[in-house]
Structure 1
Amino acid sequence: MTTTPLRRRVAALAALLSAALVLTACGSGGDDAGDKAAKTRTVKAGNGTIEIPADPQRVVTLGNTSQPFIDIGGKPVGVTEISASALDLLPAAQKATFKAATGLGADTGEVDLEKLASLKPDLILIQVPDSEFKTIEKQLGAIAPTVFWGLDTEWKAFADALAEAGNLTDAVSKQKAEFKDKVAKIQGTYRKIIADTSFVAVDRWDSSDPGTFVITDIGCVEIATDDVGLNTPKAASGNDPLAWTDLPFEKIAELSKYDVILYPVGAERQPKKAFAPVVETNTWKALPAVSSGHALGVFCPGNNSYGPVLQYLDSLDSALASLPAKA
C-alpha cells in the first residue's frame, strides 16, 4: 500500500480507531478495577505517567527504540526503518528479529498509521524529537498506550526505561552486570596506562566537509572517558560538543601533543570509510603516536544500548592491550 501524507490519513484512520476502541470496550466490560490493576501497571516517561499492559505482547517500536528494544530481547511486531549501515552491525539473530517485524515507514514523519493500527499493538514505544512526537501523539495514543522518550535521554536510563516498559528487566540486569565487569577489568588491567596517559579520540562524519575531521567527545568515547576513566579532551560545561566543530586537515599535526590517539574502525578493523582520508594523509602518518603504534583503531557499533557498548569495550580492551605496560 502506498503511504499517504499524515494529514490525509487522519480521517480514514478515525473509523478504524473507533471500531478498535469499541471492541476493546466490549472485551473489557466484565473486568472490575482490581482485575484491571492486576493486568496493567504505570511507567513514567517523557509524555507523563502512562498505564500500560503488565506484560505487553504486541509492541511497536518507532524512531530510535527498535535496535535497543531488540537488544534486550524484545520482539517488536512493527518498526520504522533503521539505516542499512546500522542494520549491518546487528548480530544475526537481532537482524532477523528486525526483519521479521512489519515495516511501518522510513521514519515517524511517514509512519503508516493504518497499518500500525491493523497490527493491534498493546504498546507503542517511541523516541524522536519532542516536536516530531507532538504531531502524532494523539493518533498513537488512540491506537495503544504510547511511551515516549526525547533524544536527550541518557543511554543507560533509556535501557532501563525500555526494559521496564517491555517487561524485560531481567535481560537488562544481566547486561548491566556484564558491563560493570568489563569496565572493572579494563580499569584493573590498565590502571597505570589510564592514570598516566593522555588520549584523544578523533573521527570524521559522512557529512563532514572534504579535508576536515573532528576531535570527538560524544558517542562511545563518552564511555571510555566517563566510565573507564580515560583522560580525553571534552567540551567545557555548557559549550557545544567538540565533535560539532570540523577541523581542517592542517590541524592534524596538533594531535602530536597526545600520547595515544583513538580512531574509528569497522568490524573488520579497517578505518571507517568516512575516516579513511585522514589516515591517508602524510601529516597523520608523521604523528608520533602513529609511527610508534599508539594510534589505536576502536570499533563502536553504537552507544544507545548495552549490547553494542559491550562490543565497544571489548574492542577498547584489545586496543589498550597493544600499548606497552607501565610500571
Structure 2
Amino acid sequence: MSIRRPSVLVGALALAVALTGCGSSSDGDKGETGSDSAKSGSKTRVFEADNGKITIPAAPQRIVATGYAVPALIEADAPLVGISSWKRGEPLMSDEDLATYKKLTKVAGELATETNYEAIAAAEPDLIVIGVPAPVLADVDVKRLETIAPVVAIGPTVPSAWRDLSRKQADAAGALGEFDTRKAAYEAKAAELAAKYKDVLPQLKAGHVGAYGEVAKGNFQREFSGSWGSNIIEDLGAVYYGKVKEPGPGSKSVSEYPSIEELPESLGEADVITYSVQADGSVPEAVKYVLDSKLWANLPAVKAKKTFAIRYTEAASYGQAMKTLDAIDEALAPLLKQ
C-alpha cells in the first residue's frame, strides 16, 4: 500500500501533514474507553495521526503496516502480522530485517490501490498503521479497514521528515524501545563521521543531482537541503546551498527540475557535487543524462574532481540510514586526501 516515489510522490506529498505526535503514555490516555476495550480488557489511548485523533490499543499485539511504516516497524521489532510489499526498500535493509520482511505475510502490494482487505481481516490485527502520504489515502478504503481494527495514517511529507515520522509509527506500535536504540546508534555514528570530516566538509558549498529527472523532457533533478540525497549527508556537516525557485508541496519544496541547459546556472557555484546512484553503484538514466552532458564536464566541481556518487539516498528509517552513512563515508573519503 505504497506509491511510486518520488515521481508520483513529488506531487503528492503535502507539507500540511502534521509531524507533531501525540500518543502519550499518561494514565489518562491509557484509561479503558469504549466497547472494544471492555470486550478485550485492554487499555487504550488517543493517538494523533494524519486521519485525526484515533483511539488505539495502548500496547498493540497484532499490527498490520503498509508503505513507509513497513521498514520502520520491522526495525522497531513491532508485533507485525502483515505488511505491504516494499521492494524498493529491500536493498536498504540489513540481512536480519530483510529476513523478517520476507517471512511476513504480504497483505498489500506496492501501490495503495493494491490493498487486499480480506487478507488484512484474516490477519486479525488490533492496529493498522498506514504509511502513505495524505493525498494517497483517498486510494484506501479507510472506512472498511476501520471495521477490522483502529487505523492510524502516518505518511511522509518532506524527505527529511522520516526521522519524526518513523518515531510516530514506532510510538503508535508501542515499540519505542528498539526504535530509540537504533536512533542512538545512528546519531553516534553520524557524530563520529561529522568529526572525521569537520575540517573539510562544512567549508564547501554542495549541490546534489537526484535520480528522478525526466530525460524525455530534457530536465534533471536538483536537490537542496532536506531532500532525499542531501538530508543524511547534512548530518555530517555538509552545506547544500540555494533554494527552490518556485516551491511547491512536499518534495517540491526541497527539489526542482531545471532543463539541462540550466546546469551551469544551477550548479556552477558548487565546490562539491554529490549524485544518487543505485544500491549496486549503477548510475540511473536520469543521472547519466547529466553526467554525459558537455555542460557537466565544464562545471568547476567536476574539473576539480569533487563529484561523489552516493548510494542508499532513499533511506527513510534509522536502520536504513546506517547503510547510507557507510556509503557516504566511502564516497567522501577522497576529500580527506585533497
Corresponding residue of 1:185? 192
In the alignment, does 2:152 pair up with 1:147? Answer: yes
The code of the aligned residue for 1:297 comes to A
Cα distance in 2 between the residues matched to 1:48 and 1:244? 29
> Structure 1: where are the runs of 5+ without partners?
1-24
SS in 2 for 1:194: coil
User: Which residues of 2 match residues 263-274 of structure 1 at below 5 A?
Assistant: 263-274=275-286
Contact 1:109/1:132 (<8 A) preserved: no
* CA deviation profile, 1:112-160 (whole Å, cap 9, x unmatched): 2122111111111012233543662222121012111243372111121
State the percentage of identical aligned residues: 27
SS of corresponding position for 1:124: strand
1:80 to 59, 65, 84: 84
**Contact 2:92-2:323 within 8 A present in 1 as well:** no
In structure 2, distance between residues paired with 1:151 and 1:178: 23
State which drifts further: 259-268 or 314-323.
314-323
Secondary structure class of the residue paired with 1:319:
helix
CA–CA separation in structure 2 for the residues paired with 1:117 and 1:209: 43
| Secondary structure in 2 matching 1:195 | coil
Q: Is residue 211 of structure 2 the alignment partner of residue 204 of structure 1?
A: yes
> Separation in 2 of the partners of 1:146 and 1:54?
14
Q: CA deviation at 1:298?
A: 1.1
Alignment RMSD: 3.0
Runs of 4+ with >6 A deviation: none
Q: CA deviation at 1:208?
A: 4.7
Change beyond 3 A, Cα 1:238–1:169? farther
- Given that 2:274 and 2:307 are in contact with CA atoms closer than 8 Å, whether structure 1 keeps it comes out as yes
> Which residue of 33, 36, 42 maps to 2:42?
36
How far 1:202 moved relative to its partner?
1.2
If the length of structure 2 is used for normalisation, what is the TM-score?
0.75
Matched-pair contact (CA < 8 Å) for 2:247–2:254 = no
1:46-125 matches, cutoff 5 A: 46-74=50-78, 76-82=80-86, 84-106=87-109, 107-125=111-129
Q: Give the 3-state SS of the residue equivalent to 2:192 in structure 1.
A: helix
Cα deviation for residue 323 of structure 1 reads 0.8
1:245 paired residue among 244, 249, 256: 256
**Residue of structure 2 equivalent to 1:219:** 228
Query: Greater RCO between the two (CA within 8 Å, min separation 6)?
Result: 2
Matched AA of 1:139: R
**Where does the alignment leave 5 or more consecutive residues of structure 2 unmatched?**
1-34
- Normalized per residue, the structure richer in helix is 1
Q: Determine the structure 2 residue equivalent to 1:315.
A: 327
For the 8 Å contact 2:167–2:179, the answer to whether it is kept is yes
SS in 2 for 1:196: coil
Q: Deviations over 1:10-45 (max 9, x none)?
A: xxxxxxxxxxxxxxx89965x7xxx533xx444332
Give the AA of the match of 2:131. Q
User: Matched residues in 1 for 2:122 and 2:37: separation?
Assistant: 17
Q: 1:202 to 1:46 in 2, by over 3 A?
A: same
Mapped to 2, the partners of 1:214 and 1:242 lie a distance apart of 13
Give the distance between the partners of 1:75 and 1:98, measured in 2 at CA.
12
Q: Secondary structure at the match of 2:143?
A: helix
1:70 shift after superposition: 1.6
- 129-138 vs 174-183, greater mean Cα deviation: 129-138
TM-score (structure 1 length as normaliser): 0.77
Between the aligned partners of 2:257 and 2:37, the Cα distance in structure 1 is 58
- Residue matched to 2:315: 303
